[in-house]
Chain A
Amino acid sequence: MIVDKLQQLGQHSIAKIQGMGRATLMLFGALIAWPTPRKSFPLLLKQLYVVGVLSLLIILVSGLFIGMVLALQGYTVLSKFGAEQMLGPLVALSLLRELGPVVTALLFAGRAGSALTAEIGLMKATEQLSGMEMMAVDPLRRIIAPRFWAGVISMPLLALIFTAVGILGGHLVGVDWLGVDGGGYWSAMQANVDFQQDILNGVIKSVVFALIVTWIALHKGFDAVPTSEGISQATTQTVVTSSLAVLGFDFILTAVMFGG
């Protein structure tokens, strides 16, 4: 009875660790190679379009609305203390430090991560990856590497755009609608936001999240059971696992960067 439970636990752990090992091997196989910019740059460009440009709309719209909601909610509390001029720092700091990187990573996992998993899973199911190997084309180099770099490059850029649009959205609601002083909005922000402490740390966060989300998405697709059910499971797992990983790592990074 207890031994059965223990066996289950052991099986589960071994499977998890094997999965992590396969994911690491996949990443090393894709990234450690002699760079061939002439061949890989067009592939990277295509993936930057698919992963980055096509995610732009959802990032712009949600950034705008999150900035607007922050300003609206912040205003109701701050106006009770007569501290409306602190609305700028409130919106800017919460977007730069937390919401920009985290919400972008979650949206990115849902929008681009799931698509990557489904695409690669389907390639595996239709034996396109095996076909490439037959033609002496390394699928890790041809399929995985450009998608990985595209994700890692485009997500920090998306997070920057998200944050900037959010701050403009906060300006729209706070200054143009609720009547906070416009000069105070920007000057209080400038007095309270530090380039290194806030902006650079936010960018570091989004680079870490980009690595995590893209890696998980690619591995789940590459490791998917090559059936329609397996692909659907892998896609779900991508979104769930990478969202949880982003939130977990966010806590650790926040504790390290801003905790002390």
Chain B
Amino acid sequence: MTSRRIEVLVGLFVALAIAAFLLLSLKVANSGMTGSGQTYMLYAKFENIGGLKVRSPIKVGGVVVGRVRSIELNTEEYSPVVAMEIDSQYNNFPETSSVAILTSGLLGEQYLGLQPGFVDETVSILKSGDYVEDTKSAIVLEELIGQFLFNRGSN
């Protein structure tokens, strides 16, 4: 076994490992980059976020445009504030837009549905750091059942 052959084989081994790492990081994982990688932040205040999590997708008409960056409780009103990280390719949402917490399928994970609003002369475009005013909270199954039972009881 000459030392040259050993060197070639070790080089091959390391190259194979690098190829495996590239496959894993590029093809298997999303490295947090969507499109250009440039993002901007929008905020939304909810009553109840249900099962929404950090890194849940934000969708417009089913297309992912960003992800939830953080979820924090506003200490003044004790209502959850969701920070949304949106691809700057989509930076044209008017301030009449609305966000709702939706569920994909019956048992699927929850995501944010962003619905673009109408535009006229008095409506401005949402900038980075703005709040989306029109929000719809998550549907909590227990509350629905409670309401249903309450309505049945009163009838």
Contact = CB atoms under 8 A, between A and B. Distances in A.
Interface string B1-23: 00100110110111011011101
B32 A160 contact: no
Contact of B29 (A53, A56, A198): A198
A163 B24 contact: yes
Main secondary structure of the interface of A (DSSP, over half): helix
Given A190-B29, A198-B29, A96 B9 contact: no
Contacts of B155: none
B6 A46 contact: yes
B154 to A, nearest CB: 38
Contacts of A56: 13, 16
Interface residues on A, range: 20 to 34
Given A49-B9, A164-B23, A164-B24, A199 B29 contact: yes
A189 B24 CA distance: 10
Nearest to A63: B20
Interface residues of B, number: 24
B28 interface: yes
Contact of A186 (B3, B16, B27, B55): B27
A189 B23 CA distance: 12
Interface in A130-181: 154, 157-158, 160-161, 163-165, 167
B30 interface: yes
B21 A160 contact: yes
Interface string A30-70: 00000000000010011011001100100000000000000
Interface of B: 3, 6-7, 9-10, 12-14, 16-17, 19-21, 23-25, 27-32, 55, 57
Interface of A: 42, 45-46, 48-49, 52-53, 56, 92, 96, 154, 157-158, 160-161, 163-165, 167, 186, 189-191, 193-195, 198-199
